[in-house]
């Protein structure tokens, strides 16, 4: 083959290698939900979505393509470059054996550079920077390659999966994008430590993650201050006096150890001092201390309730307000 033919073949091989490398890294880094959004209007996105559902097969196809390209460069380009360099090396007055060795080494370096930098590293960086774009652009031709080589790829993939299972690991065909709570907590802690996330925001995110395991009782543990209480038969004057003494706007109405109502002091303003405050009270939102915090928080928001009465086996244990919860989620608003 003449020099022009070898050059054109080399360019084609490097382009093919770059194609397979970009396909491999784009599907690994792309977000499936973004492909699902684009699939409604794009056939290429639908093809990429199908590829993401059989990831191990696609990776096997990419590796097969890269391997073929590597072997082709070694079989075609390297000997041609080696042959082209022997003459100039001999022209320098070097012995023929030494000229042959130097030409071989230079040919190996040149071909390796082209393959690694142009055929692998550059497309890898592009695919990582634009995963969804590259996945959609390359999906259709890659589906065609998979169609042609599917029997071979399935055989190779089954052998690889057999080896993986022998090591005690179950292979999967799709990327799992779901982060568990511990993984997210570690990510937040790392981001806070390296300074990419402010500590206050990190604390609020960590607390939000912990809400899935916290209970209402966890917010009253170790609490020293007690809510303001009056008897269920108290008057408006007694509620206002209790508010002035304790500074609490919401006052509990109790009968024995049971909370029968909750009254906000603003509802007593303008009322006769001797009016029974039970007429102005609202029914309490009562929860057991073992109730998950996130469920209670949701119910408080749905019902417009600012205060929850926490019980322990039916006995009064304390109160939790939205003011106890929100400052932890939004520390800057505290």
pLDDT of 330 higher than 70? no
Query: What is the number of alpha carbons within 13 Å of residue 139 lying toward its C-beta?
Result: 25
Domain 211-333 annotated CATH 3.10.580.10: yes
Q: What is the DSSP string of 228-266?
A: -EEETT-BHHHHHHHHHHH--SEEEEEETTEEEEEEEGG
Round to the nearest angstrom and report the end-to-end CA distance of the chain.
77
**In angstroms, rounded to a whole number, what is the distance separating the alpha carbons of residues 54 and 90?**
53
Helix (H) or strand (E) holding 185, with range, is helix 181-193
pLDDT digits (tens, 9 = 90+) for 25-84: 887 777 776 777 777 778 888 888 787 777 788 888 888 999 999 999 888 988 888 888
Is the pLDDT higher at 199 or at 106? 106
What is the pTM (predicted TM-score) of this model? 0.54
Cα→Cα distances 63→72, 73, 103, 230, 234, Å: 14, 15, 30, 76, 80
Band of pLDDT at residue 334, cut at 50, 70 and 90 = very low
Band of pLDDT at residue 304, cut at 50, 70 and 90 = confident
pLDDT digits (tens, 9 = 90+) for 219-264: 888 776 678 888 888 898 998 898 888 888 888 888 877 888 888 8
Kindly state the tokens that stand for 224: 């020293």
Domain assignments of the chain as residue spans, ordered by start: 3-166, 179-210, 211-333
Residue recorded with tokens 């990429």: 48
Phi-psi bin for 270: left (phi > 0), alpha (psi -120 to 50), beta?
left
Tell me the pLDDT of the chain averaged across its residues: 82
Residues 53/149, Cβ–Cβ less than 8 Å: no
Reduced to 3 states, what is the DSSP secondary structure of residue 227? coil
**In angstroms, rounded to a whole number, what is the distance separating the alpha carbons of residues 53 and 174?**
5
pLDDT of 292 higher than 80? yes
Mean pLDDT score, 274-303: 87
* CA-closest candidate to residue 273, choices 229, 227, 241, 232: 241
pLDDT of 187 higher than 60? yes
């Amino acid at each position: 083959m003449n020099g022009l033919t070898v050059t054109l073949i080399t360019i084609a091989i490097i382009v093919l290698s770059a194609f397979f490398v970009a396909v491999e890294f784009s599907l690994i880094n792309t977000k499936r939900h973004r492909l699902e959004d684009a699939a409604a209007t794009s056939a290429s996105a639908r093809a990429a979505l199908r590829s993401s559902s059989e990831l191990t097969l696609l990776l096997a196809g990419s590796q097969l393509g890269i391997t073929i390209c590597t072997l082709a460069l070694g079989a075609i380009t390297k000997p041609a470059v080696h042959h082209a360099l022997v003459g100039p090396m001999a022209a320098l007055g070097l012995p023929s054996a030494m000229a042959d060795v130097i030409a071989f080494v230079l040919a190996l370096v040149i071909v390796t550079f082209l393959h690694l930098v142009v055929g692998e590293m550059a497309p890898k960086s592009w695919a990582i920077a634009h995963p969804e774009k590259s996945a959609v652009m390359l999906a259709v031709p890659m589906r065609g390659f998979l169609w042609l080589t599917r029997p071979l790829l399935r055989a190779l993939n089954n052998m690889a999966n057999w080896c993986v299972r022998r090591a005690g690991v179950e292979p999967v065909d799709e990327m799992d994008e779901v982060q568990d709570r511990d993984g997210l907590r570690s990510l937040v802690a790392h981001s806070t430590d390296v300074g990419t996330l402010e500590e206050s925001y990190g604390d609020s995110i960590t607390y939000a993650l912990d809400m899935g395991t916290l209970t209402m009782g966890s917010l009253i543990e170790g609490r020293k201050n007690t809510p303001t209480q009056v008897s269920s038969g108290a008057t408006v004057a007694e509620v206002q006096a209790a508010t002035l003494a304790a500074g609490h706007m919401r006052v509990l109405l109790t009968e024995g150890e049971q909370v029968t109502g909750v009254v906000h002091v603003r509802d007593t303003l303008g009322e006769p001092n001797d009016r029974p405050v039970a007429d102005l009270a609202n029914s309490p939102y009562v929860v057991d201390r073992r109730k998950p915090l996130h469920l209670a928080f949701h119910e408080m928001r749905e019902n417009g309730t600012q205060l929850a009465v926490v019980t322990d086996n039916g006995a009064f244990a304390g109160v939790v307000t939205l003011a106890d919860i929100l400052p932890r989620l939004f520390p800057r608003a505290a």
